[in-house]
Structure 1
Amino acid sequence: MFTSEFEPVYCIEGGTLQLKCTVYSETIDVHWFKGDMEIKENENIHIIWADKTHLITFKHAKVSDSGQYCIVAGKVQKQLEVTVQALFKCPLKNITKMEGLEACFECEVEKPYPGVWYKDGKELKSSSNIKINTIQESVHKLTIFQTTLEHKGKYEIKINNILSGADLDIKEIPDAIKQMSEHDRSIFLEAAKNGTAARYNIRIILVGKQRVGKTCLLRRLMNEGIEGVESTDGINIEVKKCKINLQTKEWIFTKGNESPLSEYPNDQYADCGFWDFAGQKEFYATHQTFLSRNAIYLLVVDVSEDFEMNTFKKYIDFWLDNIHCYTVNDTDESMILTNDLLNPPVIIIGTGMDKVKDTGKTKDSFEKFINELLREHPKRKHLRQLCFLSNTKPSKDKKEFQTLRSDIFERANEIPKWGDNLPTRWIFLEKEIDRLVDNEEFVISYDKAKSLASKCSFSLEEVTLELDSFLKYEHEIGNVIFSEDIKSYIILEPKWLVDVFKCFVAPFQFQNQCINMHEWSRLQSTGHLSKMLIEKLFTKIQVLNLTENKAVALEERNEENTLALQILKEKKTFALEIMEKFDIIVKPITTANNEEYYIPCMMEATEFNQILKTFRVRNKKCSRTSWFGLEFNFLPPAFFNHILVTFLKKYSLCIVGDGRLAIYRGIGIFDLEASKCHKLVVCISEYSVAMQVWQFKKGERICYHEHMKYLTYIVDLLQQKYRIKLPYQCFLKCPDGTHHEIAERIYLSDVAKTAQHYCPKHPFHTLDELRRFWFEVCIKSLRKGKIKTREQQAVLNDRPCDTYCLCIDFKCFFQIIAFDG
């Protein structure tokens, strides 16, 4: 039947495949089979015959066309082996890259053909950030030099009508890394080249006034009993005390668990750390150190109390305002959710349900109270839900606490930092740190940290640079305390710093051992922190309260062969430096070059009238400038401290007759020049900061714009440092007025409305009278009509008194022009 030989046929995918046979007679029918199925013509298969020759053509061969073919002529069959070789020797492979790194797709083909690249179905061309090239005609490459989140998608290359595709997954750079310097970001990306992994972390912060059940609630959430609970001394932090299974959502606690929590894999379990904040106002100066935008806040209130009490409202408002600061602004995309909610999330927990008669009525009343209190204020967008329970008389199965745990886990998924992708070796170093903390080693030297980093495969050539970037990131998210300018030690467990803070910043009931000390009384009245009191307070810190015998015992185990007593001394010095870094303590500048520490937040309040008497300000020989100030929508308590301490570090404090420094609670009085005839007064009150100058020389007309400029500069700097938003407006006030009273404040945004302002002490004030100490040249220039355009303003910017006050607010500037015109 057949007159032709049948040799195996080979072709490349996408090419034309032809199978041919000849028979000895034109009348013989030929049929083509693959397996049991006869092959029929279609758009890709064409079957023809001419005379004795029969031909089947596959226009575009597929790999699936490979196999045994059977040709039947009459009753005779012949077998033919067909092999279609895949066009792509090496097809495209899925890629996962960290945002900012280079991504390169590469494939190799059996035969040189041109190719066309696509992303999500759209053709790609070479650009400044994308390079498409071919190597030796058979290797095709697409390189994205610097990836962004927009590059995520499906990439394909079409060669000879054959497609090869793969996915590009871009992992977002952690928010904390984005806020760091370009140098630190490049260090992070270099480390990420060797692999990344996700790490999940939940920080839960309990806030509220004292004695509402925060610590008991923490115990219940940790599956512990509440026996022996006392009022929280400062801030009690239960850090990484449990893990959460990401799949089952099961909470795993230390108690009754055989394996250390640090041994659980980071990609399967989330770290969960609780921070229990003290409710006493004296501790508020320390809170800002530990608050975070990447946290879940549990605002605890006792619903058995009277809702309508002013203090009840104040505490809820205070904490929601504090949390709302961390939104930065309402247009911050990382803080806004699709359903118009804001991060950080807040769950209000009403405790004391066992003390109310009608639980249903109490729940309804409290929900109504919250709705009326918050109304349309943006801070209500942080609120996720209300939860009601009793710590002392929970339900039999304690199901309400399990429900709360589940809710906390769901809220964690809304946090931008949830599931941060980190370089793998950074996660290894985190685990090494966790092991040290498990062994209660809370503070280590920088040299030991370098040794750990090397062990975790940090770059040997640049171990210090990468370690610093790692530590900055860990500091930013609250895992460790690290400062580049105090690198001698690193605090691995923030609880260690909390213990230090608790010793120095605590109400009387927590300082029984110091009540009868003369140094403690002096601290309360003058803010002075004596060396003797420092040593006494350090005895409250367990790791710093070691006898000489214990220190010698430590010395024998010290692998670095350094005297243990010397290490203790260094750690105490380090503790003081850290507190100074966080503005808890300060060494004020004085003409006597004072080297003593002060704690402004621990001082008792002094009446401003008493201070005026001390300096004889009401004497006829003293004249006072108008007040210039900033009024905030809300000012966290810690910022009172930050602002005052910043002035104490720059300006020289006055010395009062008895030799004490002129520092008071919320007030500092500074000498502006050597003659001490000009004294700058900085006063911080609720939601405002104001300054005034006392002049003990007659006839001098001085513009103090540079001090006003410094005030606004440090406020803006502090907002950047702590990444919070504190809107404010500038105001002026009568020289004889009281700085903290809102009445009779003249806001700069309103100065165009009237030329004169009523004053209870005087008939009226002109704008010139109030502004001349802070904006003197501006007013003169405006009155003379010298400034009418921005270009004219720019010319005057070289003059000492024009530069800042003209730039402070263009809106205000043009209002002044309209007023004087």
Structure 2
Amino acid sequence: MNDDISKQDLNQCFEDYQHIGEYVDFWFDSIHCHRTVNEQASYGHFDPPILLVFTGKDKYNKKREKELNDQIEQVFGYKSKYHHLHDRFYLSNKEDCDAEFEKLRYAIFENAAKMDTWGKAFPLKWILLEHLIEINKNDGKNFISFTDMLNLAKHPDISLLKEDDLLLFLRYQHNVGNIIFFENIRDLIILNPQWLADAFRYLISDRVNNSRLYHLEDWTLFTRQGKISESLITKLFESKDGSQFVGQKKNLHKVMEKLDILVKIENSSYYIMPSMMPSSTFDVVCEQFDIISKKCKRTSWKYDPSKVDSGIGLYRGICMFDIEASGGGKILVTMSTDTIALQVVSFSEQWEEFGSTCSDIYSEVTQLIEEMIKRYKKLYSPWMNNEVERILHDRTKTSTKQDDLNPCNIIA
């Protein structure tokens, strides 16, 4: 209850989170964009439900509860993600009796019972195989191959003999978040999702025991640009006693790519790690690329990151891409709390009309967003809500405005 939940201004969208309120807003966004249905449930809320729990009640009076309630209203307002919030609780770990915590337990049970997966009938074989997976997890086994999983399924008490039947079981277990399974990465079925989170933590933690890494060019690229090589990934695992991950390094790369934790740079041994990309501001990037000058005009669109003195024009929340090899035409992509904006710019001296180009870009962007929505709903388990893109939007609209800079804006 000590932390405010405050509304972000534009500059905060390009910077690291400093307050818990920014994470709360992000968590709501993440849960909302990974939901599996677009319609509200019959009882008026979106699934999955959110129960917001504030602790430290013994330090505050009722006035503080009202302040936090008002802040929640201000931040979420009429946004659709607000409909995931089913209830909120204010608790003290020091003073509240068991009855207060029992209210929270009952609320969790009550909300879970309303969800579609509650009370569904499943094959007894599934229940037995799920129990067998739990036994392996409790024995410290974090992952298994598809072949070994098939052998488990062939246990006499289970007799799940057909591969298609096992695949159906594994897809369900992935969808409910019990395991992480991708059919094209069968050699690594992750039984314990926390194991993947630990592997990721090994890469981003600043507690590096091997000081020799600090003198590597790859380390500088990683810390300054979020660009990480395959060899540095191996060194980071090894430097932190991560040998448990080294043996599955290639498969972990594939899984992290699937979940957008890593983005492979084509024809290269390097990846981009979005969470490690440097922060910048809109004004700094505009000044860096001279976008505010009157010679800046509109042109077409492509995807190659623009080069700047510090490397490539990729920052957290704002990016600049080259349209052509000469770098004369660029597309600026930026975002705020609930908006992604694209602006096409050109430094060519020849004037051109770009109405059709804007229309083409609009069509490509809307198609891309639709594909992302489908892909994210298919890929993400409920546990993976902290390393994803900020927002997949419900609405897409476009606007074109003539002014001194002649911008062509697309707002998604």
Q: TM-score range by the shorter chain?
A: 0.7 to 0.9
Question: In the aligned structure 1, how far is the partner of 2:285 from the partner of 2:70?
Answer: 46
Deviation, structure 1 residue 423: 2.3
**2:363 corresponds to which residue?**
709
Equivalent in 605, 611, 625 of residue 298 of structure 2: 625
Q: Contact (CA 8 Å) 1:606, 1:665: kept in 2 or not?
A: yes
Question: In the aligned structure 1, how far is the partner of 2:331 from the partner of 2:343?
Answer: 6
**2:253 matches 1:579:** no
Deviation, structure 1 residue 595: 2.6
**1:669 corresponds to which residue?**
320
5 Å-filtered alignment, 1:242-641, equals: 319-325=27-33, 331-332=39-40, 335-337=41-43, 340-356=44-60, 359=61, 362-363=64-65, 381-391=83-93, 393-395=94-96, 398-455=98-155, 456-459=158-161, 463-506=162-205, 517-518=214-215, 519-539=218-238, 544-545=242-243, 569-589=246-266, 593-612=267-286, 614-615=288-289, 623-625=296-298
Question: In the aligned structure 2, how far is the partner of 1:441 from the partner of 1:424?
Answer: 23
Question: In the aligned structure 1, how far is the partner of 2:160 from the partner of 2:179?
Answer: 19
Question: In the aligned structure 2, how far is the partner of 1:681 from the partner of 1:377?
Answer: 26
CA deviation map 1:267-318 (0-9, x unaligned): xxxxxxxxxxxxxx9699xxxxxxxxxxxxxxxxxxxxxxxxxx68766555
Question: In the aligned structure 2, how far is the partner of 1:583 from the partner of 1:612?
Answer: 27
CA deviation map 1:728-747 (0-9, x unaligned): 2323365xxxxxxxxxxxxx
**1:94 corresponds to which residue?**
none
Question: In the aligned structure 1, how far is the partner of 2:26 from the partner of 2:105?
Answer: 25
Letter in 2 for 1:653: P
Deviation, structure 1 residue 493: 0.8
| Structure 2 counterpart SS, 1:457 | coil
CA deviation map 1:135-182 (0-9, x unaligned): xxxxxxxxxxxxxxxxxxxxxxxxxxxxxxxxxxxxxxxxxxxxxxxx
CA deviation map 1:417-441 (0-9, x unaligned): 1123222222222122111101110
| Structure 1 counterpart SS, 2:173 | helix
**1:728 corresponds to which residue?**
395
Question: In the aligned structure 2, how far is the partner of 1:440 from the partner of 1:720?
Answer: 34
Q: Contact (CA 8 Å) 1:352, 1:389: kept in 2 or not?
A: yes
Which of structures 1 and 2 has the larger relative contact order (alpha carbons within 8 angstroms, sep 6+)?
2
Change in Cα spacing, 1:406 to 1:515, as seen in structure 2 (3 Å) is farther
Deviation, structure 1 residue 503: 2.3
Letter in 1 for 2:227: H
**Greater helix share, structure number:** 2
Letter in 2 for 1:503: Y
| Structure 2 counterpart SS, 1:584 | coil
| Structure 1 counterpart SS, 2:364 | helix
Q: Contact (CA 8 Å) 1:345, 1:411: kept in 2 or not?
A: yes
Deviation, structure 1 residue 669: 3.4
Deviation, structure 1 residue 402: 3.5
CA deviation map 1:329-378 (0-9, x unaligned): 7744xx332xx34433232322112223xx45555665676677767766
Question: In the aligned structure 1, how far is the partner of 2:109 from the partner of 2:185?
Answer: 36
| Structure 2 counterpart SS, 1:578 | helix
Deviation, structure 1 residue 502: 1.8
Question: In the aligned structure 2, how far is the partner of 1:733 from the partner of 1:388?
Answer: 47
| Structure 2 counterpart SS, 1:670 | strand
Question: In the aligned structure 2, how far is the partner of 1:676 from the partner of 1:371?
Answer: 45
Question: In the aligned structure 1, how far is the partner of 2:237 from the partner of 2:23?
Answer: 32
Question: In the aligned structure 1, how far is the partner of 2:344 from the partner of 2:82?
Answer: 41
Change in Cα spacing, 1:625 to 1:417, as seen in structure 2 (3 Å) is same
Deviation, structure 1 residue 706: 3.8
| Structure 1 counterpart SS, 2:144 | strand
Structure 1 spans left out of the alignment, 5+ residues: 1-207, 213-280, 285-310, 547-567, 629-646, 735-756, 763-768, 775-821
| Structure 2 counterpart SS, 1:624 | coil
Letter in 2 for 1:517: Y
CA deviation map 1:654-680 (0-9, x unaligned): 44467x333333333334345554333
CA deviation map 1:389-433 (0-9, x unaligned): 222x144x6443334223322222112111232222222221221
| Structure 2 counterpart SS, 1:343 | coil
CA deviation map 1:546-604 (0-9, x unaligned): 6xxxxxxxxxxxxxxxxxxxxx6540121122111111111224xxx333112132122
Change in Cα spacing, 1:670 to 1:320, as seen in structure 2 (3 Å) is closer
What is the count of residue pairs matched by the alignment? 381
Q: Contact (CA 8 Å) 1:445, 1:488: kept in 2 or not?
A: yes
Question: In the aligned structure 2, how far is the partner of 1:700 from the partner of 1:375?
Answer: 43
Q: Contact (CA 8 Å) 2:238, 2:246: kept in 1 or not?
A: no
Q: Contact (CA 8 Å) 1:499, 1:541: kept in 2 or not?
A: no
5 Å-filtered alignment, 1:152-301, equals: none
Deviation, structure 1 residue 610: 4.6
Question: In the aligned structure 2, how far is the partner of 1:625 from the partner of 1:482?
Answer: 44
Structure 2 spans left out of the alignment, 5+ residues: 6-14, 378-390
Change in Cα spacing, 1:413 to 1:360, as seen in structure 2 (3 Å) is same
Question: In the aligned structure 2, how far is the partner of 1:676 from the partner of 1:317?
Answer: 37
Change in Cα spacing, 1:325 to 1:671, as seen in structure 2 (3 Å) is closer
Question: In the aligned structure 2, how far is the partner of 1:282 from the partner of 1:373?
Answer: 18
Question: In the aligned structure 2, how far is the partner of 1:675 from the partner of 1:368?
Answer: 52
Letter in 2 for 1:473: Y
5 Å-filtered alignment, 1:83-122, equals: none
Q: Contact (CA 8 Å) 2:366, 2:396: kept in 1 or not?
A: no
Question: In the aligned structure 2, how far is the partner of 1:472 from the partner of 1:353?
Answer: 42
Identity of aligned residues (%): 29
Change in Cα spacing, 1:715 to 1:209, as seen in structure 2 (3 Å) is farther
Change in Cα spacing, 1:385 to 1:613, as seen in structure 2 (3 Å) is closer
Q: Contact (CA 8 Å) 1:480, 1:492: kept in 2 or not?
A: yes
Question: In the aligned structure 2, how far is the partner of 1:369 from the partner of 1:617?
Answer: 37
Deviation, structure 1 residue 516: 7.7
